Structure 1
Amino acid sequence: MSDRAENLILALPGLLLLAVAFFVPIAQMLLLSVQGEEGLTFANFTRFLGDPYYLGVLWRTVRLSLLITAICALIGFPLAYIMARVGPRMRLWLIVLVILPLMTSVVVRTFGWMVLLGRSGLVPDILRSLGLAGRNFSIMQTESAIVIGMVQVLLPFMTLSILGVVSRIDTRLEEAARTMGCGFGATLRTVVLPLALPGIVAGSLLCFTLSASSFVTPNLLGGSRIQVLAASIYRSVTQTLDWPFAAAQAVILFVGVLLILVPYARLGGGTR
Structure 2
Amino acid sequence: MNDRTENLLLALPGLLLLVLAFFLPIGQMLVLSVTGPEGPLAPFARFLSDPYYLGILWRTVRLSFLITLICAAIGFPLAYIMTKVGPRLRLWLVVMVILPLMTSVVVRTFGWMVLLSRSGLIPEMLRDMGLVGRNFALMQTETAIVIGMVQVLLPFMALSILGVLTRIDGRLEEAARTMGCSFLQTIRMVVLPLALPGIVAGSLLCFTLSASSFVTPNLLGGTRIQVLAASIYKSVTTTPDWPFAAAQAVILFAGIALVLVPYIKMTGAKHG
TM-score class, shorter-chain normalisation, is: over 0.9
Instruction: Tell me by how many angstroms 1:77 deviates.
Output: 0.4
For each residue in 1:251-272, what CA deviation from the matched residue of structure 2 results, as whole angstroms up to 9, or x when unmatched? 0000011112223444555675
Instruction: Tell me by how many angstroms 1:44 deviates.
Output: 0.3
Q: 1:72–1:154: 8 Å Cα contact kept in structure 2?
A: yes
Q: 1:68–1:147: 8 Å Cα contact kept in structure 2?
A: yes
For each residue in 1:46-84, what CA deviation from the matched residue of structure 2 results, as whole angstroms up to 9, or x when unmatched? 000000000000000000000000000000001001111
Q: Distance in 2 between matches of 1:82 and 1:239?
A: 48
Q: Distance in 2 between matches of 1:96 and 1:228?
A: 32
CA RMSD of aligned residues (A): 1.2
Structure 2 match to 1:16? 16
Closer, same or farther: CA 36–218 of 1 in aligned 2, 3 Å? same
Q: 1:174–1:191: 8 Å Cα contact kept in structure 2?
A: yes
Structure 2 match to 1:187? 186
Does 2:28 correspond to 1:7? no
Instruction: Tell me by how many angstroms 1:243 deviates.
Output: 0.5
Does 2:49 correspond to 1:50? yes
Instruction: Tell me by how many angstroms 1:22 deviates.
Output: 0.4
Letter of the structure 2 residue corresponding to residue 71 of structure 1: I
Closer, same or farther: CA 2–25 of 1 in aligned 2, 3 Å? same
Structure 1 match to 2:82? 83
Structure 2 match to 1:263? 262
Q: 1:197–1:268: 8 Å Cα contact kept in structure 2?
A: no
Q: Distance in 2 between matches of 1:90 and 1:155?
A: 19
253-262 vs 179-188, greater mean Cα deviation = 253-262
Gaps of 5+ in 2: none
Q: Distance in 2 between matches of 1:270 and 1:261?
A: 14
Letter of the structure 1 residue corresponding to residue 37 of structure 2: E
Structure 2 match to 1:34? 34
Structure 2 match to 1:211? 210
Q: Distance in 1 between matches of 2:136 and 2:12?
A: 56
**Secondary structure at 2:209 match in 1:** helix
Q: 1:164–1:199: 8 Å Cα contact kept in structure 2?
A: yes
Structure 2 match to 1:164? 163
Closer, same or farther: CA 270–9 of 1 in aligned 2, 3 Å? closer
For each residue in 1:217-267, what CA deviation from the matched residue of structure 2 results, as whole angstroms up to 9, or x when unmatched? 000000100010000000000000100000000000000111122234445
Closer, same or farther: CA 265–70 of 1 in aligned 2, 3 Å? farther
Q: Distance in 1 between matches of 2:138 and 2:29?
A: 36
For each residue in 1:69-113, what CA deviation from the matched residue of structure 2 results, as whole angstroms up to 9, or x when unmatched? 000000000100111121110110000000000011000000000
Percent identity of paired positions between Structure 1 and Structure 2: 78
TM-score, normalised relative to structure 2: 0.97
Q: 1:237–1:243: 8 Å Cα contact kept in structure 2?
A: yes
**Secondary structure at 1:35 match in 2:** coil
Structure 1 match to 2:241? 242
TM-score, normalised relative to structure 1: 0.97
Gaps of 5+ in 1: none
Q: Distance in 2 between matches of 1:268 and 1:57?
A: 31
Q: Distance in 2 between matches of 1:168 and 1:20?
A: 37
Instruction: Tell me by how many angstroms 1:209 deviates.
Output: 0.5
**Secondary structure at 2:89 match in 1:** helix
Structure 2 match to 1:154? 153
For each residue in 1:21-66, what CA deviation from the matched residue of structure 2 results, as whole angstroms up to 9, or x when unmatched? 000000000000001237x610000000000000000000000000
**Secondary structure at 2:124 match in 1:** helix
Q: Distance in 2 between matches of 1:54 and 1:225?
A: 13
